[in-house]
Amino acid sequence: MLTALLAVAALVAIPGPARAATAGDVVSAQPTTVYLLPGKVLEVPVNAWHVLYRSTSATGAANTVSGTLLVPKSAYPAGARPIIGYAVGTHGLGDQCAPSVSMREGREAELALISLFLLKGFAVAVTDYEGLGTPGQHTYMAGISQGHAVLDSIRAATRIPAAGLSARAPVAVMGYSQGGASAGWAAQLQPSYAPELRLRGVAAGGVPADLRDVALHLDGSPNFGLAAAAGVGLDAAYPELDLEADLNERGRALLADAADDCVGELGKLAGLRFADLTTRDLLNQPKWVARMNENRLGALPPRVPMFLYHARGDEIIPHAVGAELRAEYCAAGVTTRWASLPAQNHVAGAVEGGPLAIEWLTLRLLGLPALSDC
């Protein structure tokens, strides 16, 4: 009998094969501190973690992404605490631009909106996106990668035991500009990529839904640096694009210099055109057209209510681009709420539309039905 018991004990002690890593798995979660102002002034009174988690690239490869999870210290009074996947707007291409860095240094402007969610008792997961805060080039404006990163940041949030979040919690996603594209892609990908998430609604503002249309609009404009950065980001996501091979000497020098710039530094490319930097017409090359079309929002209808908002005077992402996305979602039967804002520039659109989006999402998380204005 003793021999038999020892044999059973030995079998129990033998470790089985390790479970394969899956998207949303946590690699590490280190406590961090978040500040509202530079100089470590005004600490945000939340429990926060700097998180490394598994995700998926635009081409389906496994990768590791960083982000920040913020959870209010007070108990949530009504069931499972809701989780917001917050997708930030353009921060830049260098690791020092990542929102996880700017939050702990007190220079993250979007904390003003994030804090409105925290005040409601919601947890907020903020992804840095692929290659921003982790090794490799940031895949800026590769929407599929960005959508994966948002969804997996929510998954990761539920897998940090100290955070006390439930995998069955109601979930919402919000983003503006680059974040608007990321939120839109999270909505479109969720049914197939993360069907277990209890997604209740998505708010996306200032959405660059059609990358080619936006690039044509920015060509030669004061904000051309954003279009050039998107070229760098797509090239990082899809190596076959081989951007460097199509650059002239000036283009190689300028884009190499900009490869680790934050958004405020991209202004040095103001007024340039793609033709000034390249030897070929990139925007009409079949390989570029194919990848831009692949990352164009609208073809895959979300299954959750959408709140779309856009400034009528948006100088960076034309109002017509956002309106076209709304029309495509409406035609596909998506419950869509549209806000055409009087704001006269891109940043003002975020300021005007952000609080509207937060209140709309709050109602979805509380279980109230959404109305469409299609």
pLDDT in tens, 52-92: 999 999 999 999 999 999 999 999 988 999 999 999 999 99
* Strand-strand pairing, 198-205 and 83-87: unpaired
The sign one gets for the Cα dihedral 279, 223, 240, 297 is negative
Mean pLDDT, residues 118-134: 97
- Is residue 344 pLDDT above 90, yes or no? yes
- Is residue 16 pLDDT above 70, yes or no? no
Which top CATH class is 219-293? Answer: mainly alpha
CA-to-CA distance for 150 and 115, rounded, in angstroms? 18
Specify the pLDDT at position 40: 84
- Is residue 41 pLDDT above 90, yes or no? no
Provide, for the chain, the percentages of residues in helix, strand and coil under a 3-state DSSP scheme, each rounded to the nearest 5: 45, 20, 35
Give the residue from 135, 129, 133 showing the smallest Cα distance to 147: 129
- Is residue 6 pLDDT above 90, yes or no? no
First to last CA, the chain: 74
Please provide the CATH number assigned to the domain covering 26-209+304-365. Answer: 3.40.50.1820
Rounded to two decimals, the pTM is 0.92
Do the Cβ atoms of 70 and 118 come closer than 8 Å?
yes
Distances from the Cα of 211 to the Cαs of 106, 108, 196, 325, in angstroms? 31, 26, 30, 12
Q: In the chain, where are the structural domains located? A: 26-209+304-365, 219-293
Specify the pLDDT at position 39: 86
Do the Cβ atoms of 138 and 91 come closer than 8 Å?
no
Mean pLDDT, residues 174-202: 98
Distances from the Cα of 110 to the Cαs of 36, 44, 116, 237, in angstroms? 10, 13, 10, 26
Partners of 85 in beta bridges: 125, 173
List, in sequence order, every beta strand (DSSP E) within 33-117: 35-37, 41-43, 46-56, 62-72, 83-87
Do the Cβ atoms of 318 and 340 come closer than 8 Å?
no
pLDDT averaged over the chain?
93
What phi and psi, each to the nearest 5 degrees, are found at residue 80?
Answer: -70, 135
pLDDT band at 20 (very low <50, low <70, confident <90, very high): low
CA-to-CA distance for 90 and 99, rounded, in angstroms? 10
